[in-house]
Amino acid sequence: MSTDLFLDRYLPLIEAGLRDAIGSQEALPGYYGMMQYHMGWLDEFLNPAQAPTGKRLRPVLCLLACEAVGGQIERALDAAVAIELVHNFSLIHDDIEDVSETRRHRTTVWKLWGLDHGVNCGDGMFALAFLQLSGLQDRGVPAELALCAQRVLTETCLALTEGQYLDMSFGTRMDVDLDSYLRMIRHKSAVLIACSTRLGALLGGADAETADWYARFGENLGMAFQVVDDILGIWGAEDETGKSTSTDILNRKKTLPIVYALSNGELAACLADAQETLTEGEVARVVSLLEQSGARAYAERTARDYSERALSCLEQAGEDTVPRRAIRELSLALLGRTS
Amino acid sequence: MSTDLFLDRYLPLIEAGLRDAIGSQEALPGYYGMMQYHMGWLDEFLNPAQAPTGKRLRPVLCLLACEAVGGQIERALDAAVAIELVHNFSLIHDDIEDVSETRRHRTTVWKLWGLDHGVNCGDGMFALAFLQLSGLQDRGVPAELALCAQRVLTETCLALTEGQYLDMSFGTRMDVDLDSYLRMIRHKSAVLIACSTRLGALLGGADAETADWYARFGENLGMAFQVVDDILGIWGAEDETGKSTSTDILNRKKTLPIVYALSNGELAACLADAQETLTEGEVARVVSLLEQSGARAYAERTARDYSERALSCLEQAGEDTVPRRAIRELSLALLGRTS
């Protein structure tokens, strides 16, 4: 597809930018090595490796938004790299908070090096993200715009922690309603995608209104992604997602299908009666109750609604350009839609 | 003493700034309540409390440096608040990394609300610090200078995590030399004090050279503080520091007296032979070996050297002013010196 042409150009730049951001801190190889391991470039003995790195979706969207408004991607590259660093910092800490032992088919940082190093390594990547963004001025970005970008990323980071707080606080509650759930994923997931497209557009030279449409596109796309992820977390095949499909149920995570079905008394009773660690039979019973209550169909409809909204925002974001069509195509492909 | 006049003026401003930074985020009282608890304003049920808050040393030094170079403290207040937020974010995470259950005579955040919330709450305070700094522009600080302040704080945060990494990596090693130890405390502690005085001077309108002298003063003062803290960690009375005096030995922390004495074969053998959790008798034997090896006298001499260097840098930092004399007086008082 036509987005491949963009990806072929962007991905090496993003990867080089990330390696430069983390790898240039050579004074402490043991410290930065943990970050490089997390990024997939080193193995657990800190030897070179080629492990899965993730899709780099956020920086790609940032650069696409920049080009879509007629900007030079060099202007947005530091922001793209910073956003990917924020995403990965949050993954390192999420793995601690969720007690996850694997990520992208590999042992997580905290599990390999201990909780203390895991927390600190995430903090360091958080700081590196802001350090990367402070390079904007050297790329010829005016100081006012560079400050604006700093503020957008900072507000996004705060929102991410609010979303994480909501997610964790749902853990033991049975009374999570749909509005609370949607607020949680908006903060936990959608804001970072919105930040990517907003900063890409702003640094590409867009006016505030166009940048707002790009942000709204990103936010709705992020909502759609999260709901699709929730669906995969229950019905997706393990080899596709790299995590056990029953993990979300075992961890009693309040994902959209669960939240929807909790108004159905049977599911609430089933979860309340289940062992602290759900048995295989109990997991199967939860999945079956979800199907019966229409939770899967509801979640699929919700994902579709958000992706429609995203595409509608994109259409209103400035002029129709080749990179903007690539954004549309990429979004549809990532959501598993053909049109 | 004359510094009281400054403290009386500064502390209410700093406290109001901190409360505004954390307390204005009212949408999630349970989330920001954990931060407010850590700051000493709420009890564990999130009811108002008046618990120890810490000395607010870093923001006080920031404002003093600002006034010492002839600046208006309103210009530096956001930076002062941001630095105190960074300090407290790092304490929240340090408590997790060190498995500390008490801080300032109260239960730590992670111990009260769990590890997951502790990690996330620290991340949120980290983001709030940068959000606070992004308010500089609204105080009339030029965009270029605001960006410079952002970069200084960012580099400081990265250095803090490097220092924390070094500190944790020393844990199990017996071959830590004095240079490595000094590098560790420089990153872990001194850089944040240096950041306080540098940003205070810069935002007060100092030229780069004067700001550098203020930074060097702060760095040496920070080194002196840390060494004094190391001494108190072994020989200080528990009611003064709020933590058990043997904690540092029980945790096998590589503080300056220990690092100095490790070249003494007896101490290394004693620590190697000790139970995983040192007995009371083993702790007493370690303290006695430290005294015999001259470790205490060496540490006291080192603290004095750094404080001399600090005062000498201060003398070279621009003109002698009343606030600069207050900085000198405050430093001596905090180091337990009379002159």
pLDDT at residue A265 tops 90: no
What is the Cα–Cα distance from A285 to A275, expressed in whole angstroms?
13
Are B157 and A93 an interchain contact pair (Cβ–Cβ within 8 Å)?
no
Strand duo B102-103 + B106-107: pairing: antiparallel
Q: pLDDT tens digits for A140-153? A: 899 999 999 999 99
> Could you tell me if residue A339 is inside a domain?
no
Report chain A's mean pLDDT, rounded to a whole number. Answer: 91
Residue A246 has pLDDT above 80, yes or no: no
Q: What is the pLDDT of residues B45-74, one digit of tens each?
A: 999 999 988 889 999 999 999 999 999 999
| Proportion of chain A above pLDDT 90, given as a percent | 72
Coil, helix or strand at residue A103: strand
Cβ neighbours of residue B288 closer than 8 Å, sequence gap 6 or more:
none
| A123 contact residues in B (CB cutoff 8 A) | 93, 122-123, 126, 157, 160-161, 164
The tens digit of pLDDT for each residue in A168-193 reads 998 767 788 999 999 999 999 999 99
Average pLDDT over residues B15-43: 92
Nearest 5°: phi and psi at A224? -60, -45
Report whether pLDDT(A244) > 60.
no
Task: Decide: residue B205, CB within 10 A, 0-12 exposed, 13-18 middle, 19+ buried.
Answer: middle
pLDDT of residue A94: 96
Contact A93 B119 (CB under 8 A): yes
Render pLDDT for B206-261 as a digit per residue (tens, 0 to 9).
999 999 999 999 999 999 999 999 998 888 765 565 555 677 788 778 899 999 99
Evaluate whether residue B297 is within a structural domain: yes
Name the amino acid, one letter, at A278.
L
Of A122, A29, A116, A132, residue with least CA distance to A79: A132
Q: Among B96, B155, B161, B184, which would you mutate to test the A interface (most chain A Cβ atoms within 10 Å of its Cβ)? A: B161
d(CA B197, CA B156): 12
- The 8-class DSSP code of residue A102 comes to E
Does the pLDDT at position B278 exceed 70?
yes
* Residue-level pLDDT at A49: 94
In A, which residues are within 8 Å of B157 by CB distance? 123, 126-127, 130
Among partner residues A31, A137, A142, which is closest to B165 by beta-carbon distance?
A: A31
Count other C-beta atoms under 10 Å from residue B250's C-beta.
16
Query: With an 8 Å Cβ cutoff, are A150 and B166 in contact?
Result: no
Determine phi and psi for B34, rounding to 5 degrees. -65, -40
pLDDT at B138 over 90: no
Whose CA is closest to B17, among B66, B50, B63? B63
Contact by Cβ (8 Å): A300, A231: yes
Residues in chain B with CB shorter than 8 Å from the CB of A128 are 158
Q: Which of B30, B119, B150 sits opposite A134 (nearest CB)?
A: B150
Give the rounded percent of residues in chain A with a pLDDT score beyond 70.
95
**A119, A137, A183: which to substitute to probe chain B, counting the most B Cβ within 10 Å?**
A119
Residue B175 to residue A280: CA distance in whole angstroms: 50
Interchain CB distance below 8 Å, B127 and A96: no
Are B230 and B256 contacting, i.e. CB atoms less than 8 angstroms apart?
yes
* Cα B19 to the center of its chain, rounded Å: 20
3-state helix/strand/coil string of chain B: CCHHHHHHHHHHHHHHHHHHHHHCCCCCHHHHHHHHHHHCCECCCCCECCCCCCCCHHHHHHHHHHHHCCCCHHHHHHHHHHHHHHHHHHHHHHHHHCCCCEECCEECHHHHHCHHHHHHHHHHHHHHHHHHHCCHHHHCCCHHHHHHHHHHHHHHHHHHHHHHHHHHHHCCCCCCCHHHHHHHHHHHHHHHHHHHHHHHHHHCCCCHHHHHHHHHHHHHHHHHHHHHHHHHHHHCCHHHHCCCCCHHHHCCCCCHHHHHHCCCHHHHHHHHHCCCCCCHHHHHHHHHHHHHCCHHHHHHHHHHHHHHHHHHHHHHCCCCCHHHHHHHHHHHHHCCCCC
> What pLDDT, on the 0 to 100 scale, is given for residue A245?
61
Asked if B164 and A30 come within 8 Å (Cβ–Cβ), the reply is no
How far apart are the C-alpha atoms of B273 and A272, rounded to whole Å? 50
Distance CA B242, CA B51 (A): 13
Cβ contact A162–B31 (<8 Å): yes
Q: In this structure, is residue B187 part of a structural domain?
A: yes
Nearest CA in chain B to A184: B28
Contact B127 A161 (CB under 8 A): yes
For the stretch B157-173, what's the b/e string if a residue is b when 16 or more beta carbons lie within 10 angstroms of its beta carbon? bbbbbbbbbbbbbbeee
Residue type, A193: I
Cβ-count burial of A104 within 10 angstroms (0-12 exposed, 13-18 middle, 19+ buried)? middle
Instruction: Tell how many helices (H) and how many strands (E) occur in chain A.
Output: 17, 2
Q: Are B41 and B16 in contact (CB under 8 A)?
A: no
Among A26, A85, A89, A120, the strongest candidate for a mutation testing the B interface, having the largest count of B CBs within 10 A, is A120
Q: Which pLDDT tens digit goes with each residue over B114-128?
A: 999 999 999 999 999
- Residue whose C-alpha is closest to residue A34's, from A130, A114, A129, A133: A114
Q: Is the pLDDT of residue A37 over 90?
A: yes
Note down the domain range covering B327.
3-334
Residue B339 lies in a domain: no
Task: Let me know the angle formed at the C-alpha of B130 by A185 and B56, rounded to the nearest 5 degrees.
Answer: 120
Could B166 and A28 be called an inter-chain contact, meaning their C-beta atoms sit closer than 8 Å? yes
Q: For tokens 């990323």, name the residue.
A: A153
- The total of structural domains in chain A comes to 1
Residues on A contacting B at a C-beta cutoff of 8 Å = 25, 27-28, 30-31, 93, 96-98, 115-117, 119-124, 126-128, 130-131, 134, 137, 142-144, 146-147, 150-151, 154-155, 157-158, 160-162, 164-166, 168-169
Q: What are the structure tokens assigned to A120, written together?
A: 């600190």
Helix (H, G, I), strand (E, B) or coil at A135: coil
Q: Are B119 and A119 in contact (CB < 8 Å)?
A: yes
> How far is A289 from A285, CA to CA, in rounded Å?
6
> Which of B124, B143, B162 lies nearest to residue A31, judging by beta carbons?
B162
Residue B323 lies inside a defined structural domain of this protein:
yes
Asked if A147's CB is within 8 angstroms of B137's CB, the reply is yes
pLDDT in tens, B295-312: 999 999 999 999 999 999
pLDDT at B295: 93
pLDDT average, residue stretch B169-181: 85
Alpha-carbon torsion, ordered A95, A100, A101, A103, to 10 deg: -60
Chain B residue numbers with beta carbons less than 8 Å from the beta carbon of A134 are: 147, 150-151, 154
* Contact by Cβ (8 Å): A290, A234: yes
Could B115 and A120 be called an inter-chain contact, meaning their C-beta atoms sit closer than 8 Å? no
- pLDDT, mean over chain B: 91
Residues in Cβ contact with B258 at an 8 Å cutoff, skipping those fewer than 6 apart: B248, B249, B267, B290, B295
A164 with A28: CB under 8 angstroms?
no
Given an 8 Å threshold on Cβ–Cβ distance, is A119 in contact with B124?
A: no
In a domain? residue B292: yes
Residues of A in contact with B143 (CB under 8 A): 142-144, 146-147
pLDDT band at A221, cuts 50/70/90? Answer: very high
Kindly list the residues from chain A whose CB atom is less than 8 angstroms away from the CB atom of residue B25: 158
| Nearest Cα residue in chain A from B136 | A147
> In this model, does residue A277 exceed pLDDT 60?
yes
> Residue A242 contacts by C-beta under 8 Å, 6 or more apart in sequence?
A52, A102, A103, A104, A105
Kindly report, residue by residue over A77-136, the tens digit of the pLDDT: 999 999 999 999 999 999 999 999 999 999 999 999 999 999 999 999 999 999 999 989
pLDDT digits (tens, 9 = 90+) for B309-339: 999 999 999 889 999 999 999 999 988 865 5
pLDDT of residue B225: 94
Residues 6+ apart with CB under 8 A from B230: B248, B255, B256, B257, B299
Shortest Cα distance from A143 to chain B (angstroms)?
6
pLDDT the model gives residue A25: 65
Q: How confident is the model at residue B264 (pLDDT cuts 50, 70, 90)?
A: confident
Measured between CA atoms, the residue of chain B closest to residue A116 is B97
pLDDT at B53: 86
Residue A164 and residue A258: Cα distance in Å, rounded?
A: 18
Q: What angle do CA B310, B312, B318 make, to 5 degrees?
A: 105
The verdict on a CB contact (< 8 Å) between A154 and B137 is no
Q: Report the percent of chain B where pLDDT is more than 90.
A: 72
The pLDDT, as a whole number, for residue A2 is: 77
Best mutation target among A22, A154, A156, A173 (most B Cβ atoms within 10 Å) is: A154
CATH number, domain with residue B192: 1.10.600.10
Q: How far apart are CA B126 and CA B289, in angstroms?
A: 41
* CA closest to A115 among chain B residues: B97
DSSP 8-state assignment for residue A139: G
